[in-house]
Amino acid sequence: AVKSHARNGVRRFDPSLEEEIEWQQTLARELHFAPPRDQLYAAYQPIYDLNSGTLQKVETLLRWTHPVFGDIEPSIFISVAEANGQIVAMGRWVLEEACRQACEWQRLSRRTIVVCVNVSPLQVMQPGFVLSVRQVLSQHRLSPGQLELELTESAVMRNLPVMQSALLELRQLGVKVAVDDFGTGYSSLSSLKELPISCIKIDRSFVNDLGTPLPAPQYALALVGAVIGLARILELEVVAEGIETASEQRLLRDLGCQFGQGYFYSRPVAAAAITALLTARSVPVQLGREERQPSE
C-alpha cells in the first residue's frame, strides 16, 4: 500500500498535461522543418470601410497545414514558436510575403491598399527590427504607409518602455501600427495617449456581445461606443474584428466605427481571392445583406 502511494506521489502529473507538453514538443520539432509556402503560408482577410463598403486593408494571417496532423491553430503554433524563438524568422518570412503580395496586388489592380501584418513582441524587441522592416519595404518598393503592423494590446503594455521607442522609430519610418485585441490588455488611458499608434482593433469578443440575442445589451453598446469615442478623441483609426452578422455591422456603423472585418464579409482567403476582389468591376461589398452567415 505504501509503495503504490509513493508511486502516486511521484506521478502527480495529470497525464493530459504530460501529453500536452509532449504535443507542444512535437509541434516545435515539426514546425522547425515546415517549409514556407508549402506547409506554412499566408491567408488574407479583407477589411472594409463600413460607410463606403470599399476594401481598404487586408490582414495577413499565418497558416500551418501539417501533412499528418492537418491544420494547426495559429494561436497554438504561434505560442510554440514564441517559446522557442522560431517566431523571429517566421515573422520575418510573413512580413516579406505580405509586402511582396501587396506589391503584386498594386501592380495588378492599380489600387493602393494597406497590408496588415501581425507581429510578435519578440520580433519588435530584436535590435535590428525597424531596419529589417525598412529593408523589406524598399526591396518590394512598397511605401511605408501601405504597411500596418499589428501588436496585441497586452504585448504592448507588458513591454511598454521598449515598445514605445520601437513604435516611435516605426512612426518616423512612416509605417502604421495597430493595437490588436483592444479591450483585453489593460491599457491605461494615459499610456494609450502617449503611444505612437495609428489604429485600434476592437477585440472580437466585444463585437460578439453586440450580436445575439437582439436587442444588443446596453453594456456592450456602451463599451464598444466608448472605445470608438476614445479612438476619435485620440485621432486613431478603429477596426471592429469578428463581424459575423448584418446586425453587428449595422450597430457598429451606427456607433461610428470606421472599419470592419469578419466572416460576414469573408473568411481569411488565398491571395488570389483578394486579387479577384481588387480587380472586380463592382468594388464595394454589399453592406445591406440581412442573412446570417454560417459560422464555424
- Residue 57: its H or E element: strand 55-66
Which residue's CB is nearer to ligand C2E, number 4 or number 203? 203
Cα(249)–Cα(211) distance, rounded to whole angstroms? 9
Residues that bind Mg ion (CB under 5 A): 118, 150, 180-181, 208, 211, 241, 244
268 binds ligand C2E, rule: CB under 6 A: yes
Sign of the four-CA dihedral 160, 162, 165, 167: negative
Candidates 180, 195, 240, 245; binder of ligand C2E (CB under 6 A) is 180
- Residue 96: its H or E element: helix 87-109
Q: What angle is formed at CA 100 by the lines to CA 274 and CA 74, rounded to 5 degrees?
A: 65
Cα(30)–Cα(47) distance, rounded to whole angstroms? 32
242 binds ligand C2E, rule: CB under 6 A: yes
Q: Give the residue closest to ligand C2E by C-beta.
A: 262
User: From Mg ion, ligand C2E, none, which one binds at residue 61 (CB under 5 to 8 Å depending on kind)?
Assistant: ligand C2E
User: From ligand C2E, Mg ion, none, which one binds at residue 237 (CB under 5 to 8 Å depending on kind)?
Assistant: none
- Shortest reach from residue 207's CB to Mg ion, in Å: 6
User: From Mg ion, ligand C2E, none, which one binds at residue 95 (CB under 5 to 8 Å depending on kind)?
Assistant: none
Candidates 181, 182, 271, 277; binder of ligand C2E (CB under 6 A) is 181
Cα(140)–Cα(134) distance, rounded to whole angstroms? 10
The residue behind cell 522543418 is: 33
**Using the 8-state DSSP alphabet, how is residue 243 labeled?**
-
- The torsion of the CA quartet 170, 173, 175, 177, rounded to 10 degrees, works out to 20
Binding mask 77-116 for ligand C2E (x = CB under 6 A): -x------------x--x----------------------
User: From ligand C2E, Mg ion, none, which one binds at residue 211 (CB under 5 to 8 Å depending on kind)?
Assistant: Mg ion
And the C-alpha cell for 265?
A: 464579409
Which residues contact ligand C2E by CB under 6 A?
45, 61-62, 73-75, 78, 91, 94, 118-120, 150, 180-181, 204, 241-244, 261-263, 268
